[in-house]
Amino acid sequence: MSLLRRKSEPEAAPVVETAVVEPTVGKGRPTPKRREAEGRRGPVPPPPMTQREAMKRSKVNTAGRKLTKDERRALAAERREKMMAGDDRFVLPRDRGPVRAYVRDLVDARRNVAGLVLPFALLSFVVILIPNALVSIYGPMLLFIALLVAILDFVFFSKKMARLVEAKFPKGDPAGLSTKGRALGFYGFNRAILFRKMRAPRPRVVPGQTID
């Protein structure tokens, strides 16, 4: 009977020891690759192509939270300061690249006749208001002559500027912009007719400075 009782008793289940894996702290895992990290947070957006797009982005921060009015104002001031300093991430597409920066330096270092166009235009506008027939006739003529002289002066300068750009950048513009004399001349003339304080990005050189 004792034998039957011993056989009928259930056998004890074997105890299996499980290893407890403690979580690793710090650099317990391999550093994710740059491509994997970008895949998690999404691709880096390209720089804004227009001022409207830049203003639209400035209303939202990187976390997707809408900024307050003071935060947007501070961010806009920071972006404008970087744009005026010539940072390629914030300037307009037409101003990007080392070639355009070099052209701006050439224009800013030169005393251009084109800089007299705006003062003559303002003077002519005032002269037209004077009730005098001779003044009303010769005022616009002086403006036309000043504009013609400024254009001719800058045509010759743009040819010299194209030679300097070709010598300094024989492989072309890394930013992909045109380095032809007409394109450079048009870009430089639009800058030369403005007062120095109105130019953006702001001048980095003083008039008369030698540009290498």
CA atoms within 13 A on the CB side of 107: 30
Token representation of residue 179? 């380095």
pLDDT at 101: 96
Three-state helix/strand/coil letters over 7-32: HHCCCCCCCCCCCCCCCCCCCCCCCC
Give the DSSP H or E segment for 188. helix 181-192
pLDDT band at 4 (very low <50, low <70, confident <90, very high): very low
| Total number of residues shown for the chain | 212
pLDDT at 28 over 60: no
pLDDT (average), residues 108-128: 86
pLDDT at 7: 47
Whether residue 201 has a cis bond before it, omega within 30° of 0: yes
Measured between alpha carbons, how far is 203 from 142 in angstroms, rounded to an integer?
Answer: 29
pLDDT (average), residues 10-19: 50
pLDDT at 33: 60
Long-range contacts (CB closer than 8 Å, 24 or more residues apart) made by 8-13: none
Smallest CA-to-CA distance from 169 within 109, 107, 101 is with: 101
Crossing angle of helices 98-108 and 133-168, rounded to 10°: 130
What's the one-letter identity of residue 61? N
pLDDT at 15 over 70: no
User: How do residues 50-63 score in pLDDT, each as one tens digit?
Assistant: 666 666 665 565 55
Phi, psi (5° rounding) for residue 66? -70, 135
Measured between alpha carbons, how far is 141 from 127 in angstroms, rounded to an integer?
Answer: 11
Crossing angle of helices 98-108 and 181-192, rounded to 10°: 50
User: How do residues 69-78 score in pLDDT, each as one tens digit?
Assistant: 888 899 889 9
pLDDT at 39 over 60: no
Lowest mean pLDDT among 46-55, 132-141, 166-175: 46-55
pLDDT at 77: 92
| Percent helix / strand / coil, the chain, rounded to 5 | 55, 0, 40
**Domain ranges for the chain:** 48-84, 93-198
Mean pLDDT of the chain: 79
- CA 51 vs CA 2, 95, 199: distances in Å: 97, 13, 16
pLDDT at 164 over 80: yes
